[in-house]
Amino acid sequence: MRIHLLRHGETEYNKEARYQGRKDIPLSEEGKKKLFCSKENPDQVYVSGLSRTRQTAEIIYPGAEYIAVPDLDEMDLGKFEGKQFSDLRRNKDYRRWLDSGGSTRCPGGEDKAEFSERICKAMQMILEKECDAGTENVYIVAHGGTVMAAMERYCIDCPGDYYGWQTGNGEGYLLDCSWEGAQMRWHVVRRLSYDKNAGRVHLYYGEGRGKTSIAMGTALRALQQGYDVTVLQLCKNAGSGETAQLEKLGAKIYYGKETPGFVSAMNAEEKAKLKETQTKQLEYIMTGYTAPISYPGRLLILDEVCAALDVEVLDEKILWNSILRKPSDLEIILTGRYPKEWLLQAADYVTELKAVRHPYHDGLSARKGIEY
């Protein structure tokens, strides 16, 4: 069984960074315009008892039966609801709540354990019922907290980590749901986004020439449109013509290797060092994306990432987190010959380049200005 789990679209409270909790705040007009209709055509969609989830479902999945489950409502934030950080920063109860990581009870509201238990019981009820009915796809539109609580409990890819499952408005996850006794187990297939402005994931792979060229061409276009562009060339060293030019235009360029040569010629110690270096580079880049956004968009190119995974010189779990739990606005381009199956599933754009003819097979080596 597959679960399509989404957070509702944008409200005025979201835009103003106000705590909304169980207040029945509708989608804003701008929030409605950001959403688009899915090609999926479900017969029924589960929503919470709050209007913003039904409004979102009506735009993304029009014509379905909308089944309200109030126990899927957002966390009750009590006296904090309707307030911004600036309104609460000197409030002692609020400071204690923040210091607890949001786990203690909000004055007049719920604590995290109580909220999570409510959400997970509702999820268990819905999914047991649909599993018994032989349903193949279950559609749920709820809230950010609802998604986080359920993913913390049931996702086997990264168990726990409540706040690591934050999603943008109109976004969520496609999940494979299985059962081990009475315990549900969820596996992330890919991110879902019905926000027109959200960043997507591209994968260009195959034996054909042009994978890096496509990525760098997109980088040039993004720079011209004011994007923040970062390129990590895995398993490569400096020297390729396009990266030097992109750097002059404002792109940030990182190289996995310091010296020429093929990774296949490295010994085990050299590969281990390369894996450590490249993984640290990726972690450093992703940490930078936690800063406030000051660009029209952000683009990250992970060139030859498929090769890096294939020869085990990049931590796969770090990459998984970087792609499937990326910031909402971040566009990611992946290139390489032999992608892992999960990368094929995770990408929104998937293009295979087929080699039909190449001068290399006639003995011609790479030419400066054309191949590099």
CATH classification at residue 125? 3.40.50.1240
Q: Do residues 50 and 98 share a domain?
A: yes
Is position 358 annotated as part of the catalytic site?
no
Q: Do residues 189 and 238 share a domain?
A: no
Q: Which of 8, 152, 171, 331 is labelled catalytic?
A: 8
Q: Do residues 215 and 349 share a domain?
A: yes
Please state whether the predicted TM-score (pTM) of the whole model is above 0.75.
yes
Domain carrying residue 278 = 201-362
Of 193, 219, 254, at which residue does a domain stop? 193
Identity of the amino acid at 138 = V
- The answer as to whether 368 is a domain residue is no
Closest C-alpha among 148, 149, 204 to residue 347: 204
pLDDT digit of tens for each residue in the chain (372 aa)? 999 999 999 999 999 999 999 999 999 999 999 999 999 999 999 999 999 999 999 999 999 999 999 999 999 999 999 999 999 999 999 999 999 999 999 999 999 999 999 999 999 999 999 999 999 999 999 999 999 999 999 999 987 789 999 999 999 999 999 998 888 999 999 999 999 999 999 999 999 989 999 999 999 999 999 999 999 999 988 877 789 899 999 999 999 988 888 888 899 999 999 999 999 999 999 999 987 676 789 999 999 999 999 999 999 999 999 999 999 999 999 999 999 999 999 999 999 999 888 887 788 888 788 777
- The answer as to whether 369 is a domain residue is no
In this structure, are strands 183-193 and 171-180 parallel, antiparallel, or unpaired?
antiparallel
Distance CA(27)–CA(71), nearest Å, equals: 20
Is position 74 annotated as part of the catalytic site?
yes
Q: Do residues 79 and 17 share a domain?
A: yes
Q: Which of 58, 74, 152, 304 is labelled catalytic?
A: 74
Q: Ramachandran region of residue 251, left (φ > 0), alpha (ψ -120 to 50) or beta? A: beta
Q: Do residues 213 and 231 share a domain?
A: yes
Distance CA(228)–CA(285), nearest Å, equals: 12
CA dist 35 → 23, 61, 102, 149, 151 (Å): 22, 11, 29, 24, 23
* Inter-helix orientation angle 144-154/112-132, to 10°: 70
